[in-house]
Structure 1
């Protein structure tokens, strides 16, 4: 179990750091420009997603290219599609609920309830991450044997 937790931390940890920075930056900038909690919640959600999934996809492509190169195989468009399919399986269900409902709602209400934009956004991110990672990690573990062999 310790090995799995280390694997999850190596996979998701750097993406989380980037996501937190992007979320807070986008939320702060959007709120400063618009004074709209709704726009702030959406900007924070989507900026965090772009940073998070951009990192994860880059990591997967890099690892797959390395594996294929070691086996004397090229990284092709078809391989990229397989990488993308694996990500959809890993994150699809979790992401639908997270990005369309849970995270924006928390990022809208918590800053107002706490009276702190940064504190509310950060707490919203942490709470939303809990509901996101349970199905994402389960899907990742189930997909490793079948969808992550390149």
Structure 2
């Protein structure tokens, strides 16, 4: 597999920025409202996911529409399903493990361990991203030839 670090940064970088902001914002609000580390961990995890995957899906739709338009073809509901399938292949395994185990556990324990809500949430996010990106990038690279070609 070729190291496409620039491509990965362009694809994942803006999504990560949005995810960090959503994670910290939702975790802060959840903690202020509930005082519960469980609520804080879940709110931070899921808000970050919505921001991250919303951006990635919008980016994929935009690229696919542009690719199809250049070939004189339309973006259809079927094309959207192909975009979604490609995302499931890219992120599915990594996301299940990340969202239901690694990230919430780290976001629960690390703020207590470091003595700072924001610092612990940020550290948890960064550590969880390592276990997330290794399988996600491998899947992305493997899926590019089969699942990301949309013109006929």
| Cα distance in structure 2, aligned partners of 1:10 and 1:114 | 31
Instruction: Summarize the alignment of residues 34-113 of structure 1 with structure 2, pairs less than 5 Å apart.
Output: 34-113=34-113
| Cα distance in structure 2, aligned partners of 1:63 and 1:148 | 10
**Which 4+ residue blocks in structure 1 deviate beyond 2 angstroms?**
none
Residue 28 (str. 1) matches residue 28 (str. 2):
yes
Residue 132 (str. 1) matches residue 129 (str. 2):
no
Q: Secondary structure at the match of 2:74?
A: coil
TM-score normalized with structure 2 length: 0.97
Instruction: Summarize the alignment of residues 8-23 of structure 1 with structure 2, pairs less than 5 Å apart.
Output: 8-23=8-23
| Cα distance in structure 1, aligned partners of 2:75 and 2:47 | 28
Alignment size in residue pairs:
149
| Cα distance in structure 2, aligned partners of 1:64 and 1:141 | 17
**What stretches of structure 2 of length at least 5 have no aligned partner?**
none
TM-score normalized with structure 1 length: 0.98
| Cα distance in structure 1, aligned partners of 2:49 and 2:129 | 12
